[in-house]
Amino acid sequence: MKLIKKIVVIFMFTLVSFGAAAQSVTACASTIDEAEAIVAAQAKQVGASYKITESHFNNGVHMTAKLLPKQ
């Protein structure tokens, strides 16, 4: 029974640590579509999905996204 509890605890810590290690990616381009395409390519390269967290335009687009585990 103790072995099962240890395995469950290790599994839970593994899930928590993966969520805490979410990566961010950035892209700079001249249009929003180009910036999102760059973010999508970066996410695809590591086998993840993404959520755009911020984007602003000032003589070009700067976009930041958070990589998420692919579902």
Residue 9 belongs to some domain of the structure: no
Task: Decide if 38 is inside a domain.
Answer: yes
To the question of pTM greater than 0.75 for the whole model, the response is no
Is the pLDDT score of 58 beyond 60?
A: yes
In the chain, pLDDT over 90 holds for what percent of residues? 62
Domain of residue 69: give its range: 22-71
Average pLDDT in the chain = 81
How does pLDDT run across 27-47, given as a tens digit for each residue?
999 999 999 999 999 999 999
User: How far, rounded to the nearest angstrom, does the alpha carbon of residue 13 sit from its chain's CA centroid?
Assistant: 19
- 14 lies in some domain: no
Number of domains comprising the chain: 1
Q: What is the DSSP string of 19-69?
A: HHT--EEEEEESSHHHHHHHHHHHHHHTTEEEEEEEEEESSSEEEEEEEEE
Q: Cβ(50)–Cβ(27) under 8 Å?
A: no
